[in-house]
Amino acid sequence: MTLRDCRDNAVSTPTRQALAHYDRAVDLLHSYFLDPVAEINKALALDPDFVMGHCFKGTLMAVATEKSVEPGLRQAVEAAESLSAKANDRELAHVAALRAWLNGRFDRAVDLWGRILLQCPRDSLALQAAHLGDFYLGQSSLLRDRVARVLPFWDEQVPGFGYVLGMHAFGLEETQLYVRAEETGRRALALNPRDPWAVHAVAHVMEMQGRTADGIAWLTSRAADWSVENMFAFHNWWHLALYHLDRGDIDRVLALYDSKVRPSPSAVALEMLDASSLLWRLHLRQVDVGQRWRELADKWAGMAEDGYYAFNDLHAMMSFVATGRGEDQRRLIRTLETRAAMADCNAMMCREVGLPLARAIAAFGRSDYRLAADLLLEIKHRAHLFGGSHAQRDVLSLTLIEAALRAGEGTLGRAMAAERTDLKPASPFNWQLARRAARLCGDSAGERQAGERLAALGRAA
């Protein structure tokens, strides 16, 4: 008799207890709670030939987006491939997706996970892998649409339905459908309050709408559900820090950085991304952050030649610029130049976005603000090609405006500030930028208007 997982997908293992551990591991992955690796190891201890067990481990390695885990990914792929004769078609498709990822074809891997969902719409491992892959590739519409394709096959009777709604909420947010995104995220949390991704989706809505008070209340009131023993907690803490940064509460931002965003000197790239991004925002405001940059730059230096994922490299460059590490900057740019000439997915990301952005950040660091602004303006419309969310890529717009203002390019600064205030009129910092730009242009009326908006927001707070 063929066994089926808790979402009715056929699996090749004959061991019910191994399958139970697999189902538990998948649930932990969806919720980001600890420890999915320990759980899947229990499954593999019971059945070393469990193909989906090896695929699960490989998927965990793939979505880490860093070269250091590549040996573990390779081991999982080769173990699964050795069992191909025992695997069903769905499992073989998972193996093929992981092999594509291992070969640097991130785009092909994500496409294969998506094709699994056409035949097996309740394969939530494939769904999460594709969802995260779409995020890493900057495929905003697919963040929404890929989940929408499977929704008719899910309901409250299917285990994990809330997680699917949480993914859909994030896709809706990334395509600017903010009302629907918030409604869907809240519905997901009504089914399962301990879903950090759904919490995160609503936090994104509030960030993009400039609802700082709502965002602070949202995350802090629910912290017990998403912040304890959770692998994703650092990112939601990052979002909380962004709300406080928009209000100019620098002391609170640094306290969150030290205690929540970067409480230990981890070498995990996903954690280092948020740390670098937050410190760079403070760097743009000329805030002295002490020795915090040095520790990060030391960690990034070990990855500066791996050329694995251009989004990581941008954040490494921020740390090298902030610490004045010229040789590391040059080393990273040489790596990006080499990767840009290759033919895999990251080569495209390096060529189209990563390399010119690294050059822009380096130019900013040597006070060549005009060049930095020119490069950032040229790339702005295609920056999504190397992944991340709108909130994460917003650091590029902030750097562009700051570069323009420091270069004396008031017209450009004013235009970019106007873009920001139109999108987030409730953001105090946006109006501060607008006031600076208007002053630089000699636009007294614009400066006065921006000041009045700032004052009104202060009274409302």
Contacts by residues 43-47 (CB-CB < 8 Å, ≥ 24 positions apart)? 43/13, 43/18, 43/19, 44/18, 46/15, 46/17, 46/18, 46/21, 47/13, 47/14, 47/15, 47/18
Low-confidence stretches of the chain (pLDDT < 50) are none
Q: For 140-168, write each residue's pLDDT tens digit.
A: 999 999 999 999 999 999 999 999 999 99
Q: Which residue's structure tokens are 């000197």?
A: 265
pLDDT score of 1: 61
Residue 119, classified by CB atoms within 10 Å of its CB into exposed (0-12), middle (13-18) or buried (19+), is exposed
d(CA 167, CA 163): 6
Q: Where are the domains of the chain?
A: 1-137, 139-229, 262-397, 408-460
pLDDT score of 459: 79
What DSSP string describes 104-127?
T-HHHHHHHHHHHHHH-TT-HHHH
Could you give the angle at the alpha carbon of 155 between the alpha carbons of 152 and 161, nearest 5°?
105
For domain 1-137, the CATH architecture is Alpha Horseshoe (1.25)
pLDDT score of 458: 82
